[in-house]
Amino acid sequence: MTSSRLGALAAAFMAVSSPSLAHVSFENAQTSPDSTYKATLRIPHGCAGKPTLKVRIRIPEGIVAVKPMPKPGWKLETAKGAYVRAYQVNGEAVSEGVTDIVWSGSLDDGHYDEFVFQARFTDAYQPGATVFFPVVQECDGVVEEWVQVPAEGQDAHSLKSPAPGVRIVAAAGAVSTARKAGSLTLEQPWSRATPGGAKVGGGYLRITNTGAAPDRLTGGSFPLASKVEVHEMRLDGDVMRMKPVEGGLEIKPGATVELKPGGLHLMFVDLKEPLKEGQTVRGTLTFEKAGSVEVEYTVRGIGGAAPAEHKH
């Protein structure tokens, strides 16, 4: 390999590994609604080679009961203000609280440190949302403002100075309320996250018919797809194939039908955008007798399974 080639590779490696490219971020970047969250903000470097003297975090609306952790060698200050509206915390209405946290001290450019606070995420944020915390890092005569928020569909990594974010996901083991529609009971609709570029997704749930007459699931609607079909997996010779259920899926009196991966399921056709873990998406299911029923799908991981109490 020529010396010029080696030089180019070395320069590329230095560009990729340079600390200046590292963004301020949270170590634990996800939580669930109505939960207490321990935020650990990571400061990976100074500003243009200069030591960090002050770290300021702005607390977004809807984040309450904020308690910063004192840091040895650093002065801790907070600013308080009124919220846009009151939030319920442990049965009490909270209408004001911490809006800014400031640590003042000194952190050398070649060193790394963490700044910790506790906060409660209210029901103002639901699964699928990302909450961004603007951070200002002050150095000796230089300021880094980590305040950029990605536009819809934009990758935060493409921003020069992105604000650190916390993604809201459904609580593990969360049980959704059963939905009644005539003689039918619909339980825990869910889906799986899809990779970028995927054109189809799957929908799953349990349907119980408590009536004396059969009903039939014929389709539905899904806002992120052009149409919804009922599919089944069937062995064709030695090959398992997927095909639409002709005429719709019958739900017999007294029967429970489970739509799940590898069996009967809903197919979301021609997806307009990927399904993301933690997201909730409202759609409808159409039945011959029960009519159109609104349902809300919780999107689990790509390899996600049904809630534990419904595994067989």
CATH number of the domain enclosing 237: 2.60.40.1890
The pair of three-digit structure tokens given for residue 258, joined into one six-digit string? 């489970």
Which tokens belong to 62? 């809807």
pLDDT at 7 over 70: no
Same structural domain for residues 191 and 260?
Answer: yes
- Entry pTM: 0.56
Q: How are beta strands 35-43 and 25-26 bridged, if at all?
A: antiparallel
Name the band, by pLDDT with cuts 50, 70 and 90, for residue 307.
low
How many other C-beta atoms can be found within 10 angstroms of the C-beta atom of residue 193? 18
pLDDT > 90 fraction of the chain, expressed in percent and rounded: 63
Q: Which residues of 168-192 are buried (b: 16+ CB within 10 A; e: fewer)?
A: bbbeeeeebeebebebbebbbbbbb
One domain for residues 126 and 194: no
Domain containing 214 equals 179-310
Quick one: pLDDT at residue 109?
Answer: 94
286: Cβ contacts below 8 Å, ≥ 6 apart: 217, 218, 219, 220, 221, 292, 293
Write the pLDDT tens digit of every residue in 141-151: 999 999 999 88
Task: Quote the radius of gyration of the chain (alpha carbons, Å).
Answer: 25
Report the mean per-residue pLDDT for the chain. 86
Residue 176 has pLDDT above 60, yes or no: no
Question: Domain with 133 in it: what CATH number?
Answer: 2.60.40.2230
Examine the fold and report which residue of 118, 146, 168 is the final residue of a domain before the chain moves on.
168
- Cα–Cα distance, 137 to 39 (Å, whole number): 17
Number of domains into which the chain is organized? 2
Please say if the pLDDT value at position 228 is more than 90. Answer: yes
Name the phi and psi angles at 239, rounded to 5. Answer: -115, 130
* Residues 6+ away with beta carbon under 8 Å from 244: 229, 230, 231, 232, 267
